[in-house]
């Protein structure tokens, strides 16, 4: 079908009028969006930090520095109260292999990826909810059809007609009492909650990598120490076997030595099993299959014990621990829900409007004789609902009380974690010093006993006791050394890990959302 020039001109005019109408309606609706009133319900404020005595986490003051001991992991550590924690706190162990492994884990671990994806989901859900609640809905319709009217229709001539229509419809619910604002305030708190869940996952993952690497180093050292003891006992067994062949000692002595060697040998397999499990765990934390290669090996000698320990002040802990911040956002959301339940008890206003045209020819659309419009305003006031709205508000208040109690429990647990770790650092340093002294004495006793046994000055039972004592103290020394490394990693985790000092975008979970239209108190920012 050919289209004339006049029809083209008419269609362009109609479309211009149609678009201009839609634009004017949208602008008018946006102006109406700013006419909201007050926001009912409590304005949220972050809970104050617990009152503590200065920089003390413990009932009695800690010493300025811990005890020292000779050997690996025996350096004295100083507590630097008020000093900032570096974002990459694990770098204080001065292990390039550990740094590389943590970078790999943060980039490839599926739990980290899942937490970040849930955060993106929460943010987009907020954006969708804000789009639905904050702004008016403007819908434009344009259609055409063909219909037949019967002769029996009153006031109309029978025949077949073309029907064209175009309209713009606007609907808006003014936020007079702040129900929408409180809803979005709670939704933003839910986003921020997930934001700090990402930080908690980040901290837990990095701490697990460090502690598992330390566990591997400890097991490797225990395995080496056990093999050294087994080697010494095996050499001693060879001497005893020869003495038995010449009739110098009874068979019971040979059997006792064989039993001692067998017992020590039996401890190697469990240590190898635990070491393999630690290696597998490191691979999984790094986002790799246990069978993949390229994983670094860790020893206690490859890790440096940090001697300067930054300790955040108690007043700063509640702003640093991701679990506390997440609990605070849960409390914030509960506070906003009280406002939502309160606003539901007040009148709800609505505005709707439409402007359109209906004609039998396309060119007559929006002529003065074919246009129609409507503008409606409404208000709905709850009158009787069996006390449901009041009950909903009381339920929201109870939920806030529960969230408040949960927040306090989270804070108490956090302070306990820090206090326990600080005491562990001090006590375990003293324990390592004592263990090092015990190991040195046991080694000296063993060396002397071996010389005396060769000269016939002591019995084999005395030598056997010396061997057992040294074997136990030597392995206990290795365990005490590894405990100090683990205590140090636990302190950084208990203090929050230093995420607030991290550069922007690593990850992006700590940035404040620019999409949030309301602050902590539900007011426009």
Q: Give 505's contacts (C-beta < 8 A, 6+ positions apart).
A: 511
Grouping H, G, I as helix, E, B as strand and the rest as coil, residue 73 is coil
Relative orientation angle of helices 251-266 and 179-245, to the nearest 10 degrees:
160
For residue 136, name the pLDDT band (cuts at 50, 70, 90): confident
Question: Per-residue pLDDT averaged across 400-423, rounded?
Answer: 96
Query: Is residue 163 scored above 90 in pLDDT?
Result: no
Query: Is residue 212 scored above 80 in pLDDT?
Result: yes
- pLDDT of 10 reads 43
243 near 249, Cβ under 8 Å? yes
For residue 157, name the pLDDT band (cuts at 50, 70, 90): low
Query: Is residue 204 scored above 50 in pLDDT?
Result: yes
Question: Per-residue pLDDT averaged across 223-242, rounded?
Answer: 86
Angle (CA) 36-41-45 rounded to 5° is 105
Q: 451-469: per-residue pLDDT in tens?
A: 998 888 887 778 878 888 8
Which residue would you say has higher pLDDT here, 194 or 506? 194
Element (H, E) at 371: strand 371-380
Question: Per-residue pLDDT averaged across 27-38, rounded?
Answer: 46
Query: Is residue 125 scored above 60 in pLDDT?
Result: yes
Q: Give 425's contacts (C-beta < 8 A, 6+ positions apart).
A: 66, 77, 309, 484, 487, 488, 491
- pLDDT of 481 reads 93
- pLDDT of 260 reads 86
For residue 203, name the pLDDT band (cuts at 50, 70, 90): very high
Beta strand pairing call for 159-172 and 78-81: unpaired
Closest alpha carbon to 507 in 68, 120, 70, 93: 120
For residue 37, name the pLDDT band (cuts at 50, 70, 90): low
For residue 504, name the pLDDT band (cuts at 50, 70, 90): low
For residue 6, name the pLDDT band (cuts at 50, 70, 90): very low
pLDDT mean across residues, the chain? 84
Percentage above 90 pLDDT, the chain? 51
Beta-strand ranges (E) seen in 13-71 are none
Q: 69-80: per-residue pLDDT in tens?
A: 998 989 999 999
Relative orientation angle of helices 460-494 and 251-266, to the nearest 10 degrees:
10
For residue 14, name the pLDDT band (cuts at 50, 70, 90): very low
Q: How far apart are CA 355 and CA 172, in angstroms?
A: 15
191 near 133, Cβ under 8 Å? no
Tell me if the bond preceding 256 is cis, omega within 30° of 0: no
For residue 494, name the pLDDT band (cuts at 50, 70, 90): very high
Which residue would you say has higher pLDDT here, 235 or 287? 287
Percentage above 70 pLDDT, the chain? 86
- pLDDT of 156 reads 56
- Which alpha helices (DSSP H) does 109-178 contain, by range? 110-134
Query: Is residue 41 scored above 50 in pLDDT?
Result: yes
Question: Per-residue pLDDT averaged across 43-48, rounded?
Answer: 91
Burial class (CB in 10 A: 0-12, 13-18, 19+), 178: buried
Main-chain phi, psi angles of 171, to 5 degrees: -135, 135
481 near 470, Cβ under 8 Å? no
Query: Is residue 1 scored above 70 in pLDDT?
Result: no
For residue 5, name the pLDDT band (cuts at 50, 70, 90): very low
For residue 152, name the pLDDT band (cuts at 50, 70, 90): low
- pLDDT of 97 reads 95
Closest alpha carbon to 73 in 228, 271, 275, 221: 221
């Amino acid at each position: 079908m050919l289209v004339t020039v006049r029809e083209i001109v008419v269609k362009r005019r109609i479309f211009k009028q149609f678009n201009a109408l839609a634009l004017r309606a949208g602008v008018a609706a946006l102006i109406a969006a700013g006419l909201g009133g007050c926001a009912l319900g409590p304005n949220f404020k972050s809970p104050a930090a617990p009152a503590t005595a200065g920089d003390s986490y413990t009932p009695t003051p800690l010493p300025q520095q811990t005890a020292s001991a000779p050997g690996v992991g025996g350096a004295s550590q100083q507590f630097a109260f008020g000093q900032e924690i570096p974002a990459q706190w694990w770098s204080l162990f001065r292990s390039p292999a550990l740094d590389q492994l943590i970078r790999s884990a943060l980039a490839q671990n599926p739990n980290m990826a899942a937490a970040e994806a849930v955060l993106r989901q929460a943010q987009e859900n907020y954006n969708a909810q804000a789009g639905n609640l904050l702004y008016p809905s403007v819908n434009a319709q344009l259609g055409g059809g063909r219909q037949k009217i019967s002769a029996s229709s009153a006031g109309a001539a029978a025949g077949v007609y073309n029907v064209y229509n175009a309209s713009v419809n606007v609907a808006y619910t003014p936020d007079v009492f702040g129900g929408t604002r409180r809803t979005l305030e709670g939704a933003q708190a839910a986003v921020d909650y997930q934001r700090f869940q990402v930080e908690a996952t980040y901290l837990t993952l990095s701490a697990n990598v460090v502690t598992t690497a330390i566990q591997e180093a400890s097991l490797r050292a225990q395995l080496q120490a056990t093999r050294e003891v087994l080697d010494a006992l095996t050499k001693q067994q060879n001497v005893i076997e020869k003495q038995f062949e010449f009739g110098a000692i009874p068979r019971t002595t040979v059997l006792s030595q064989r039993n001692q060697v067998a017992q020590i040998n039996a401890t190697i397999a469990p240590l190898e099993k635990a070491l393999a499990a630690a290696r597998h765990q490191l691979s999984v934390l790094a986002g790799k299959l246990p069978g993949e290669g390229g994983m670094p090996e860790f020893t206690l000698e490859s890790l440096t014990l940090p001697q300067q320990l930054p300790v955040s002040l108690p007043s700063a802990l509640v702003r640093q621990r991701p679990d506390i911040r997440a609990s605070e956002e849960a409390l914030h959301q509960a506070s906003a829900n009280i406002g939502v339940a309160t606003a539901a008890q007040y009148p709800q206003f609505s505005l709707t409007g439409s402007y359109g045209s209906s004609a039998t020819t396309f060119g007559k659309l929006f002529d003065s004789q074919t246009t129609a419009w409507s503008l409606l305003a409404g208000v709905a006031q709850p009158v009787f609902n069996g006390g449901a709205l009041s009950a909903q508000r009381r339920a929201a208040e109870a939920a806030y009380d529960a969230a408040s109690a949960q927040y306090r429990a989270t804070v108490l647990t956090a302070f306990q974690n820090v206090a326990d770790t600080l005491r562990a650092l001090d006590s375990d340093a003293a324990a390592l010093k004592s263990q090092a002294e015990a190991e040195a004495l046991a080694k000296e006793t063993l060396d002397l006993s071996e010389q005396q046994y060769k000269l016939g000055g002591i019995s084999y039972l005395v030598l056997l006791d010396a061997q057992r004592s040294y074997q136990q103290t030597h392995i206990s020394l290795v365990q005490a050394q590894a405990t100090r490394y683990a205590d140090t990693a636990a302190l950084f985790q208990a203090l929050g890990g230093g995420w607030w000092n991290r550069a922007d975008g690593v990850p992006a979970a700590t940035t404040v959302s620019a999409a949030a239209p309301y602050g902590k108190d539900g007011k426009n920012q």
